[in-house]
Structure 1
Amino acid sequence: MDAIVRIVDDEETVRNSELFIFKLAGIPAVAYSSAEEFLSRDDLSQAGCIILDLRMMEMGGLELQRCLQERGSDLPIIFLTGHGTVDAAVMALKNGAEDFLQKPVKPEILLEVVKVHLQKNKELRESKAVIQEKINKFKLLTDREKEVLREVARGKLNKQIAIDLNIAEQTVKIHRGNAMHKLGLRSALDASAFLLDIGRLGKNE
């Protein structure tokens, strides 16, 4: 699924102009006339970015930004406004906005900024998907396999693990082999990297 640009601006001429710019560039885009419309209709699960007007009739850009943060959205926000002030820019960027551009902005500048953030968000989503897939695989291990794998990842030998867990060394080998096979791992270094990626190396779960 392609990443999509969301334009949130209460000025129709601005929305239409930006939609035209992205259409010419072959970039999928959709426009909303208010923050409320955006929140009620947009699919936040689709990668992309948001071009957000700072001042709108009802809910303003900064308020929408806070709302999206509360919902856990990772969509990068590019503030585009004709009413920008230093204080507003500082607040927007401090709250996580990626860029703050003044209207009118040149099409080539807008496109350059948008392309960067579309790619960054796509890569972020892909990275999250890979991590989630690893987490799902890890959950399929038995409790003992998880326990043994953590010890393997810490660089311990089978004999050490057997002593620490008070089980037979042969049992350790079996659990180690099963865990490594299920996760597609070949070495203790692989196991360490895998558990670090999913934040499970230091947890007893």
Structure 2
Amino acid sequence: MSAQPTASEQIIHVVDDDEALRDSMTWMLEGNNYKVATYDSADAFLRVISPVMVGCVVLDVRMPGMSGLELFEELGRRGCTLPVVFITGHGDVPMAVSALKKGAVDFIEKPFSEADMLRLIEQCLMLERGNRDKRLQEADTVRRLEHLTQREREVLGLIIIGKLNKQIADVLGISIKTVEVHRARVMEKMGVNSLAELVQHVVTVDPDKVLR
């Protein structure tokens, strides 16, 4: 097995029982300035996965012991969000298609070209970066929501369903001026400069976290 991954950079995790394939993947990926870690079995990979790992997984469909599909399902149960590309033989395509329906990014048939594999790798890494940025934004929004007062939450809830200041004042039984003050505080605490930005941030999180 190659050097263990760190949490600070994207790693391509290659899980395949074929030593020659692991070696060729390592040579190809490192030659294109990617970080790579290889594993000779599903169990070997499961021993090192953690929530802080970033990157993607290149996974063989057929392996002794736990198969690639079984590993993929286990990763889902463990909440692993790393994008997965399957390596398949010709006869494994139906299984790979089934994996796509369950959330895998794509599959590639053996023998595959370096260009095709690198294209899929970059697609996965871009997807993982986007998903990670989204999770960080959601976590920041939730943190900011926790600093709102109950009244500010009520005003926010009415803002995001499109109520105007006068309508909010009528619903809450307060003056328009008071609504304006609460609205300004909501915008400040949420770190946004416009109504569109406020809505964009808030709609990504669980509504219960907004209105509770």
Residues 146-157 of structure 1 mapped to structure 2, 5 A cutoff: 146-157=153-164
How far apart are residue 26 of structure 1 and its match? 0.6
* Cα separation, partners in 2 of 1:189 and 1:55, compared to 1, 3 Å: closer
1:175 has 2:154 as partner: no
Residues 14-93 of structure 1 mapped to structure 2, 5 A cutoff: 14-82=21-89, 84-93=91-100
Counterpart in 1 of 2:166? Answer: 159
Superposition CA RMSD, Å: 2.2
Counterpart CA distance in 1 for 2:138 and 2:130 is: 12
TM-score under structure 2 length normalisation: 0.86
1:137 to 140, 144, 148: 144
Answer whether contact 2:142 2:209 (CA < 8 A) is retained. no
2:108 to 93, 101, 125: 101
Answer whether contact 2:61 2:96 (CA < 8 A) is retained. no
Task: Note the residue ranges of structure 2 that are not aligned, 5 or more in a row.
Answer: 1-7
Counterpart CA distance in 1 for 2:151 and 2:199 is: 17
SS of the aligned residue for 1:57 comes to: coil
Percent identity of paired positions between Structure 1 and Structure 2: 36
Counterpart CA distance in 2 for 1:191 and 1:44 is: 29
TM-score under structure 1 length normalisation: 0.89
Q: Number of aligned residue pairs: give it.
A: 205
Higher mean alpha-carbon deviation, 124-133 vs 164-173, is at 164-173
Counterpart CA distance in 1 for 2:109 and 2:193 is: 53
Counterpart CA distance in 2 for 1:77 and 1:113 is: 10
* Cα separation, partners in 2 of 1:186 and 1:82, compared to 1, 3 Å: closer
SS of the aligned residue for 2:108 comes to: strand
Counterpart CA distance in 1 for 2:84 and 2:23 is: 19
Answer whether contact 1:84 1:102 (CA < 8 A) is retained. no
Task: Note the residue ranges of structure 1 that are not aligned, 5 or more in a row.
Answer: none
Higher mean alpha-carbon deviation, 97-106 vs 8-17, is at 97-106
* Cα separation, partners in 2 of 1:199 and 1:44, compared to 1, 3 Å: closer
